[in-house]
Amino acid sequence: MMGWKSNSSDMGRVTGPWRVFGAFAVASLLLATPFVSAKKLKADALVELHLQAIGENLVRKNRVAQGLGTVDIRVGNQAKMVGQAMLLAEGNKLRTEIRFGHPQYVQETLVRSGEKLDIAYVSPGARSRLGSTLWDFFPRLAQEGLYGGILSTDWALLDLEKRRAKIRYHGLKKFEGRRLHRLEYWPKNGVDYRIRIYFEPETYRHVASRYRLTLPAGMGRGLVNIRGGAFGAGSGPADKIRIRLTETFSDFKEVDGLTLPHRYRIALNTSAIGGFVGHWEFQIDRMMHDQRIAARAFRIE
């Protein structure tokens, strides 16, 4: 697993007692000042402020979101398409989908049900560059509840104690021209890619997550974890592929007492196979909670 230096002052989990008693202290901070000084902020306090910023009734039976989806591929072929988008979430289940209807790109669909992950083919036997990247290199993002952020009803930060994940606060850091609170996240079983989560200093809303992986060229498919830096014979320092996957969240609106993003964007940038840059976006125009969702919605048929 990627190494990290333990520091008890800024690393930890949100424990049961903190959720009960710490909320009162955090509420007092929010009333006293627009935002807490980054120098005084700790990892678990940042998570609590983030959850309070969403709303009081965080746990909902399910979530249904609909709107318009787009893809914009800029490097590694070029394409722009528009289709109907949908996001379904219920417990630890998630479905994200954009239906393009193009013969060579019918849909971009991911389905997670617990630990089980499935990603639809865009043509017989082939997934899109986004789909194959998630399937081959980042399956844990969906399984861990990171992918989709708070739009998922199983958002990773809702229950760190249950996940036994480790977090570390790094202060205000630059992200695409903005200074944001940065949190680093390590799942229980570890991964060898870097997970960074960003929050607005004024609102504590989760506005971005970035995942980085570096691996030798020619690793092939099926990679989930690389441990101990053992990349295989014949891989020199110059023979590396760099993959960067970024999720951004904006256009926050209140729905059923929860402040949730209505614009969800995924950006993929990789140096593999001549390079690739692509963006997928969900623009949500309708969001509902506690609806009836058929079980087959969380399967790809």
Q: What digits encode the pLDDT tens for the residues 91-100? A: 999 999 999 9
pLDDT score, position 274 = 75
141 Cβ neighbours under 8 A, 6+ residues apart: 134, 147, 211, 245
Q: Hunting for tokens 């980085």 — which residue is that?
A: 212
Model pLDDT for residues 129-174, shown as the tens digit of each residue: 999 999 999 999 999 999 999 999 999 999 999 999 999 999 999 9
* Interatomic CA distance for residues 258 and 263, integer angstroms: 15
Beta bridge partners of 183: 169, 197
Model pLDDT for residues 17-62, shown as the tens digit of each residue: 334 334 444 444 444 334 566 667 999 999 999 999 999 888 888 9
What number of other Cβ atoms are within 10 A of residue 140's Cβ?
22
Q: Hunting for tokens 């399967």 — which residue is that?
A: 299
User: Taking Cα atoms as reference points, which of 288, 228, 233 lies closest to residue 255?
Assistant: 288
Domain ranges, ordered by start, for the chain? 69-81+129-287
| Cβ–Cβ under 8 Å, residues 117 and 110 | yes
Model pLDDT for residues 182-229, shown as the tens digit of each residue: 999 999 887 878 999 999 999 999 999 999 999 876 654 433 322 222
Q: Hunting for tokens 């060229």 — which residue is that?
A: 217
* Interatomic CA distance for residues 299 and 110, integer angstroms: 9
Tokens of residue 106, six digits: 């019918």
Which sign, positive or negative, has the C-alpha torsion 49, 95, 134, 108? negative
Model pLDDT for residues 223-267, shown as the tens digit of each residue: 332 222 222 223 344 578 899 999 999 999 999 999 999 999 999
pLDDT at residue 7 above 60? no
Region class of 64: left (phi > 0), else alpha (psi between -120 and 50), else beta: beta
C-alpha 110, offset from chain centre: 13
pLDDT score, position 103 = 86
